[in-house]
Amino acid sequence: MYWALSGYGLRAARALAWLLGAMAATLMALMIWGLPADAPKPELTGRQSGPHISLTADTPDPVNPTGPWHERVTTERFEKALRVVINSVAFRSSGQDLTTAGTYTEMASRLAEPVLLGLAVLAVRSRVKR
């Protein structure tokens, strides 16, 4: 696996190509299945008992997108998905509301993409050292 991904740390271009491919696959998966149809809006409910007011904020679960794929691939969804992908390369959570499929996609990319980035860095380091 190490040889296929980075040529035993000697092929920086191969490792970068795998990283870009993984980022592109994550981006498409998030655009098609991972981002909710609409951003869930928090609902505020309250109760008053005498001089005291108690408020409860509840955010509904994200709704899976529906409709044909070409309607899901928009510039707005591309931009949101790109932010999630770039954050996943650096082990960070995007804080974006995602569907269940999007959450699992982000978790997988937060494991795989930093490894590919590390392999690329090691390959560049070995090239510079020679």
Is 77 within a domain? yes
Is 55 within a domain? no
Please tell me the total count of domains within the chain: 1
Is 46 within a domain? no
Whole-number CA gyration radius for the chain: 20
Burial class (CB in 10 A: 0-12, 13-18, 19+), 59: exposed
Is 7 within a domain? yes
Is 42 within a domain? no
Which pLDDT score, from 0 to 100, does residue 51 have? 83
Q: Which residues of the chain have pLDDT under 50?
A: none
Which pLDDT score, from 0 to 100, does residue 116 have? 85
Residue 6 to residue 116: CA distance in whole angstroms: 8
Which pLDDT score, from 0 to 100, does residue 26 have? 92
Which pLDDT score, from 0 to 100, does residue 60 have? 65
Is 106 within a domain? yes
Is 47 within a domain? no
What are the tokens at 46?
């309250």
User: Considering the entire predicted model, what is its pTM?
Assistant: 0.74
The domain containing residue 115 runs over which residues? 2-36+65-129
Is 41 within a domain? no
